[in-house]
Amino acid sequence: MRRLWLVPALLLVVGCEAINPALRYEEAARQLRFSLDRVVPQVELAFPLEQSRVRLLLEVGVDNPSDQRLRTRRVSGDLNLNAQGADYALGKVSFPEGADIAPKGRSLLRVDVSFGYSDLRSAWGPLSGTVLHHTPATWGLTGEARFELLGIEFGVPLRIRKESGQ
């Protein structure tokens, strides 16, 4: 009975981080900085036009200033294009599961996605103008990176943009 006071005292000395390593992991994940490094679009025209497609190679950079190695469970988001003063939803993008994010460094997530004409009907004009005629536009990805540690899952939001031609 006398030594029960040791538990609270030990908690004060050691801190909550030692008892719950998920807190340290979650804090490291919240320090991540995402950037849309590269968007390589390619229009694949077909006849009839409904069979045309747009292929996109996306590269998302992830800067990890912490000394904690992180591993995503899933990274996904909504891809859009802002062109001619309007926003166009292009579709959902999901990066490979289990992306490894190096400590004190920069990692790159890559995904190759393809959207059909029927998915992009309302955005086809501005999208093809951006790709084929280099009309200024801004690519955007809004979503989250999901992590899990010791059965605790949490997300870190991401909202990244890139001007076309950069």
The pLDDT assigned to 8 comes to 53
Count up the domains in the chain and report the number.
1
* DSSP element (H, E) containing 119: helix 117-120
Provide the CATH number for the domain around residue 98.
Answer: 2.60.40
Q: What is the CA radius of gyration of the chain?
A: 21
Q: Predicted confidence band at 87 (pLDDT cuts at 50, 70, 90)?
A: very high
In which domain, by residue range, is 81 found?
Answer: 2-163
The phi, psi pair for 16, rounded to 5°, reads -70, -30
Q: What is the arithmetic mean of pLDDT over 32-37?
A: 96
Query: What proportion of the chain, given as a percentage, has pLDDT over 70?
Result: 87
Residue type for position 83: A
